[in-house]
Structure 1
Amino acid sequence: MNLSFFDQFLSPVMLGIPLIMMAMILPWLLLPSPTNKWLNNRLSTLQIWFTQKFTKQLMSPISTGGHKWATIFLSLMVFLMMTNLLGLLPYTFTPTTQLSLNLGLAVPFWLATILIGLRNQPTAAFGHLLPEGTPALLIPILIIIETISLFIRPLALGVRLTANLTAGHLLIQLIATATLILLPLMPVVSILTMMTLFLLTLLEIAVAMIQAYVFVLLLSLYLQENV
């Protein structure tokens, strides 16, 4: 029974074809395509409003040189948000619960920000490893600590997203299982557990959106240091 709770995180395969690819393509198929009409429908208008607000919020602290990242950050944000939300539906699979996928997204973006900093402003990039005014005896230790913290950043990005989504899915499955078991034995307790499950589902929807935003926000902060 305990092992079956983790079966939902296994990458499903049908006829030798990994379905994780379908789960990654599906979010893009559900988004409305922009049109050349003067007046759009409500969904397209809402999408344009969200795009403008998110881009302004994310790119305003970054200098002009980093504004070219707006499109890729917005695409990553929408992809993560839609993938996380679709993974909450029954009989679906959440690709972002796989640490390999999250690290595959975090490491290239983090490395790109580091390389941009080393190319455009190498002195400032290396200056982040040593705070100004550090005593001479602490210089080697601080450089080692800052270097380790620099290389831990992509790991923290991937693990944060994976852990939050995995914990939420496990809690939902545990409480749902308890609700079904308690229903014939203690109906009143089962109803209370079902109400808890409903509230937890709302919380998990919020977590799915917030974690996608936090992932992109941290990448934008890394970019801000190196632009």
Structure 2
Amino acid sequence: MILSFFDQFMSSTHLGIPLMALALVLPWILLPAPSPRWLNNRLITLQSWFINRFTQQLLLPMNAAGHKWAAIFASLMLFLITLNMLGLLPYTFTPTTQLSLNLGLAVPLWLATVLIGLRNQPTAALGHLLPEGTPTLLIPGLIIIETVSLLIRPLALGVRLTANLTAGHLLIQLIATAAFVLLPIMPAVAILTASILFLLTLLEVAVAMIQAYVFVLLLSLYLQENI
């Protein structure tokens, strides 16, 4: 019974064919494409307003060099939000609960920010490993600590997204199972559990959006340090 709770995090297959590619492509199919008309419909207008506001808020503290990443950050934000939100629907699969996928997104983007810093301003990029005014005896240990903290950033990005979504899905399934079990025994307690489940679902929707924003926001902060 306990093992079945984790079946929802296994890569979905049909007739032996993995459906991970379908789960990754589906969000792009659901997003409305801009039309060549002068006046767009309400959905496209709302989507354009959201993308513009998010991009403006994210790139506000950056200089002009960081604005080149606007399309990447906006696309990644929409992609992660749609993946997280669609995973809350019944009989669906959430690809962002897989650590391999999250690391596949985090490592290349983090590495790109590091390489940009080493190419454009190598002295400042390497200077982050040793704060100014450090005592001589602490220099070797501090360099090792800062290097480890730099290399652990993509792992922290992937694990944060995976852990938050996995914990939320598990908690929803546990409470839903408890509600079904308690319904014939104690209906009043089952109704109370169902109300808690509804509130938890709303919280998980907020977590799905917030974690996507945090993922992109941390990447933008890493980029800001290297431009």
Which range, TM-score by smaller chain?
Answer: over 0.9
How do 1:30-41 and structure 2 match up within 5 A?
30-41=30-41
Q: Segments of 4+ in structure 1 off by > 2 A?
A: none
CA–CA separation in structure 1 for the residues paired with 2:70 and 2:17: 34
* Aligned position for 1:205: 205
**TM-superposed deviation, 1:61:** 1.0
> Which stretch shows the higher mean deviation, 130-139 or 161-170?
130-139
CA–CA distance in structure 1, aligned partners of residues 101 and 181 of structure 2? 34
2:33 is paired with a residue whose SS is coil
Whether 2:160 is the aligned partner of 1:163: answer: no
| Correspondence list, 1:78-227, <5 A | 78-227=78-227
TM-score where L is the length of structure 1? 0.99
Root mean square deviation of aligned Cα: 0.6
Q: Distance in 1 between matches of 2:16 and 2:225?
A: 44
Task: Output the CA distance in 1 between the equivalents of 2:197 and 2:112.
Answer: 41
Please give the alpha-carbon distance, in whole angstroms, between the structure 2 residues aligned to 1:36 and 1:3: 51
Match of 2:66 in 1: 66
Amino acid of the structure 2 residue aligned with 1:153? R
How many residues align? The count is 227
Structure 1 residue aligned with 2:24: 24
Per-residue deviation at 1:63? 1.2
**Which amino acid is the alignment partner of residue 132 of structure 1?**
E
Find the aligned partners of 2:52 and 2:132 in 1 and give their Cα distance.
38
CA offset digits 1:170-190 (Å, max 9, x no partner): 000000000000000000000
Aligned-pair identity in percent equals 77
Distance 2:17 2:24 in 1: 14
Question: Could you tell which deviates more after superposition, 131-140 or 108-117?
Answer: 131-140
Matched residue type, 2:64: T
Q: Which runs of 5+ in 1 are unaligned?
A: none
Give, in angstroms, the shift of residue 35 of structure 1: 1.2
Stretches of structure 2 lacking an aligned partner (at least 5 in a row): none
Residue deviations 1:137-165 (CA, integer Å, cap 9, x gap): 11111101000000000000000000000
Deviations along 1:199-225, whole A, 9 cap, x unmatched?
Answer: 000000000000000000000000000
Give SS of 2:213's match. Answer: helix
TM-score normalised by the chain length of structure 2: 0.99
Determine the C-alpha separation between the residues in 2 that align with 1:16 and 1:62. 47
The secondary structure found in structure 2 opposite 1:185 is: coil
Residues in 1 aligned to 2:48 and 2:72: alpha-carbon distance in whole angstroms: 16
